[in-house]
Structures are given as C-alpha cells and as structure tokens.
Amino acid sequence: MTGLDLEQADIDLLAEQWTAAWTAGGGFSACCTGDVGYEDPFAQIPLAGVEALEGHARKLHQAFPDVRVVTTAPGLVRGDHGCIPWKLTGTQRGDLAMLPATDGFVTLQGLHYLELKDGLIRRARGFLDLYEGATQLGLLPEKGGLGEAALLMIRGFGLRR
C-alpha cells in the first residue's frame, strides 16, 4: 500500500499508534517499518531502526516518567508523506540530553513529518519549540523579556524591541 491508498481512517489509526508508542515508551513496531529512520531536536544523530527509536523513547520516559503524547488534529497524508500534529505534557524528573532535571511541568506542541511505506512510517522527523520548553522548565528567560534581550545581545544579535 502506498500513501495514495491511505484513507483518513488509516492515517488516524497510524497517528494513534504513533502517539501511543511515545506515551508508552515503546511499541513502535505496530506503526513503523523495521528500518525506520528518525530525527528530532533531542536525537544527537539520525536514528535507524525500531530498536534505536525505542531507546530514544525510553530516554524521554526516564526524563518525563508521566509523559503523555496526544494528537491535536487529524493526521494529514499526501502521496507517500504525512504529518501528525501532537501535544506533549509531562513533568521533568530526570535529565534529558544536556537539560538537567527541573521537576518542572511542560506542555509542548509539535509535529512529525512522515515518509510512509506500505501504510507504515518509514521515516519521521519531529519538530518542537525547544526554547519554549526550556522557558517552561525555567532554564531560559521568557520571550520578549529583559533576560531574552540580554541573551540576544551576548550572542551578537543586538538589542531588539
């Protein structure tokens, strides 16, 4: 089956399986090809295979043991490509990448762009606003404030209103 064969019910089921796997910290074989490729801002290098993706999800669960990922709109599909918009909520109880545990709660919106093969996810690339997440966790100053202006100035971007 190609992406052209997918109907709305199929992409909705795929989105449900995908977000359930993130929430559970595993189970990607239900919705991904064995050689799935994966990238997101927390993956230091592109991941290859279900096992690598499962390991990545386990790291998310170690940092956010109460993580919950839900779809925020119907999935989209066009040809062999799709998109799943989602919302992640959770409390950061452990380190994630270079971010130390904060015990802060986050609500992040994001999406995954997908390449589909035979009705399964062959490649996925995740996008989310890391600055917003770091702000919610208290690691960076809020947008538009004096702290952000100071960071921009230090980084060489000058003052902005």
What is the pLDDT of the chain when averaged over all its residues? 89
Domains of the chain are 3-128 (3.10.450.50)
Q: Among candidates 47, 15, 16, 17, which has minimal Cα distance to 112?
A: 15
CB 123 within 8 A of CB 36: yes
What pTM value is reported for the model?
Answer: 0.84
- Residue 47 has a pLDDT of 98
pLDDT for 70-114, tens place per residue? Answer: 999 999 999 899 999 999 999 999 998 777 899 999 999 999 999
Burial (0-12, 13-18, 19+ Cβ within 10 Å), 18: buried
First to last CA, the chain: 52
